[in-house]
Amino acid sequence: MTAHTDIDIRIEGKAGRITLTRPKALNALTYEMCRAIDRALKSWAGDPTVALVIIDAAGDKAFCAGGDIAEMYATGKAGDFDYGRRFWRDEYRMNARLAEYPKPVLAFMQGFTMGGGVGLAGHVSHRIVGDSSKVSMPECTIGFVPDVGGSFLLARAPGRLGEYLGLTAARMLGADAIHAGFADHFIPESQWPGLIGQLCDSGSPDGVLQAAKTPPASELADLQPRIDALFSAQDLTSLRNALAADDSAFARDVETALARAAPLSAATTIEMIQRLRGPSLTIRRALELEYRVAHRIMEQGDFLEGIRAAIIDKDRDPKWRFADSAVPAVAVSALLRPLGRDTLDFREDSMQIAFIGLGNMGAPMAANLAAAGHDVTGFDTAGTSADGVTMAASAKEAVKDADVVITMLPNGGILRAVADDIIPAMAAGAVLLDCSTVDVASARAVADQAAQAGLGALDAPVSGGIGGAQAGTLTFMVGGSPDAFEKARPLFDIMGQKAVHCGPSGNGQAAKICNNMILGATMIVTCEAFSLADKLGLSREAMFDVVSTSSGYSWSMNAYCPAPGVGPTSPADNGYTPGFAADLMLKDLRLAQQAAESVDADTPIGEAATELYRRFVEEEDGAGRDFSAMLPRFETRGRS
């Protein structure tokens, strides 16, 4: 189901399986891996063939040593904070989805399970540790704060373990993790493969309880009274004073560990845990608070410096913003202030969308999607952009994390070329939604190509023109699978007022060209009739009044009247500035003729309309004018 090499997502027996396959990087979680996990979780939630979800990882060193921060560092250092914010935001949403998942989720945490790894395994229904598990939240040592829902676990940990684990990054062995509430079951790792096989076969998590053993004694449990005494301090300065007054070896160890934490991070972590601790704590509250810090940490915190010292220059000598005991309370509250419109939300309908082709139609359609709260990344070879849309340097880059890729391009040839480029770069399970008007054969070829790559595909040409694109009142005529149609439905609801599922791939284009063949022909005959009425001495107002309420009525007459000053406002009232250009009408009529030929359909009026628009655009003054400018054309002509 996935083309990623860093993660293997598939269904085995009755289990949805997610295996991290980056053991050389200690299975560090990239943004793409997060997105792939989230997509899989979404699709399995309502899939009756998936009874439970198993998350595990390749290699014996680590389940997952955290988020992959290299890209965040590179972009943040260049002053681009958006990438990091997007990564965190989508990762936290995925953490919440895991915590609230409607089916059992089992995570197997061998070796290092840190930060982002805790976000993956620490909130699920069955959290399994073994002989090699080493669980920790080391964010303060890189100038960040415990996140991915870590603050939720820390705030719920017994006594003051939360402060201790968050500030010192202490490593918990399996038994410690169970004691602290980061894990549920201890199962020797030699038994994991057999257990996983059994879980896939049975679709029931009951085998976990049968396999679970009493964990070895927890050292952390033994330390608990001393930790509670030391960490009852309300702030960083009091904690340091308490440590200085304690001459035990444990107090020295804590001091050493604390010296590695960025002081601003440590002070903020204490404040976060204290705010969160209590009966009203939920995973969403914790993630929302964490995201306030994440959103600001590159600008206002020590994060970039922390990564530099830890993984870039590796000098382990970070220059933190504040000295040990001198973190001003205002710096902490500045990180934790509410974010207003940037607040992390958990709206289900928020999708990552790529929009290729931001022309007359595409730009307003993309802007409407962004205004509705979707994350839209755009690309256009002409360098055009749209409100609220993040621009990418290439089509490939725009599509790589998208749930849905929308194309709004001039013709089938360009669509095929763009599809060749982007399909290999699209994420598994994503949907390619082409809204351009193209020939049926191109639509079907692109849909086949997408299906072969494990993607959904829809051809969804529109009617309604630029006005409809701006107002979000387009009509979509859609070909493709019912599944893909359902996935795209919320987007149709934003960009349009109606979406009709016309059947399999290509049928959307078929509906579009049939509709536009009628439109072209009715516009011509409406213009002919006005010109005839002129010559017969019938006023245009009278003609409109009669026809618009009689059997000759049509959209061309009633909604788009080609006579200036008559009927509702239309391009005729604006000197025939398109609107819908005659060139585009000619394109659609040609597509209809091409299709008619391919299936041997007799379409004499369509053929005549095509020829009239061809002459108008290619031999007369129709190019660049609205398609209703046929009326002035007829006005100047006689019968010959």
Residues in the site for ligand NAD, rule: CB under 6 A?
356-362, 379-382, 384, 395, 408-410, 414, 418, 436-437, 462, 465-466, 580, 584, 587
Q: Given 103, 512, 535, 587, which residue is catalytic?
A: 512
DSSP string, 211-233: H-BPPPPPHHHHHHHHHHHHTT-
Q: How far is the CB of 172 from ligand NAD (least distance, A)?
A: 50
CA distance 46 to 35: 18
Nearer to ligand NAD, 159 or 410 (CB): 410
Q: How far is the CB of 418 from ligand NAD (least distance, A)?
A: 5
Sheet containing 126-129: which strands, arranged edge to edge? 7-12, 15-20, 52-57, 105-109, 126-129, 185-186
Q: How far is the CB of 434 from ligand NAD (least distance, A)?
A: 9
**Per DSSP, which regions of 13-168 are E strands?**
15-20, 52-57, 62-64, 105-109, 112-114, 126-129, 134-136
CA dihedral 633, 638, 639, 640 (to 10 degrees): -90
- The gap from C-alpha 313 to its chain's centroid, in whole angstroms, comes to 33
Query: What single-letter amino acid sits at 340?
Result: G
Q: How far is the CB of 618 from ligand NAD (least distance, A)?
A: 17
Tokens of 541: 């107002």
Nearer to ligand NAD, 176 or 380 (CB): 380
Q: How far is the CB of 439 from ligand NAD (least distance, A)?
A: 11
Phi, psi of 547 (to 5 degrees): -65, -40
Q: How far is the CB of 90 from ligand NAD (least distance, A)?
A: 25
Nearer to ligand NAD, 374 or 587 (CB): 587
Beta-carbon contacts of 385 under 8 Å, excluding residues fewer than 6 positions away, are 358, 363, 378, 391
Q: Spell out a b/e string for 308-333, using b for 16 or more CB atoms within 10 Å of the CB, else e.
A: bbbeeeeeeebebbbeeeebeeebbe
For residue 623, give the 3-state DSSP assignment.
coil
Give the side-chain half-sphere CA count within 13 A for 110.
19
Nearer to ligand NAD, 516 or 531 (CB): 516
CA distance 506 to 428: 22
Nearer to ligand NAD, 169 or 510 (CB): 510
Task: Residue 55: name the closest of 91, 100, 107, 6 by CA.
Answer: 107
Nearer to ligand NAD, 178 or 395 (CB): 395
**Strand 134-136 versus strand 172-173 pairing type:** antiparallel
Nearer to ligand NAD, 344 or 418 (CB): 418
- CB neighbours (10 Å) of residue 78? 9
**Per DSSP, which regions of 373-473 are E strands?**
375-379, 390-391, 404-407, 431-434, 456-459, 462-463
State yes or no: is 512 an active-site residue.
yes
Q: How far is the CB of 409 from ligand NAD (least distance, A)?
A: 5
| Residues known to be catalytic | 512
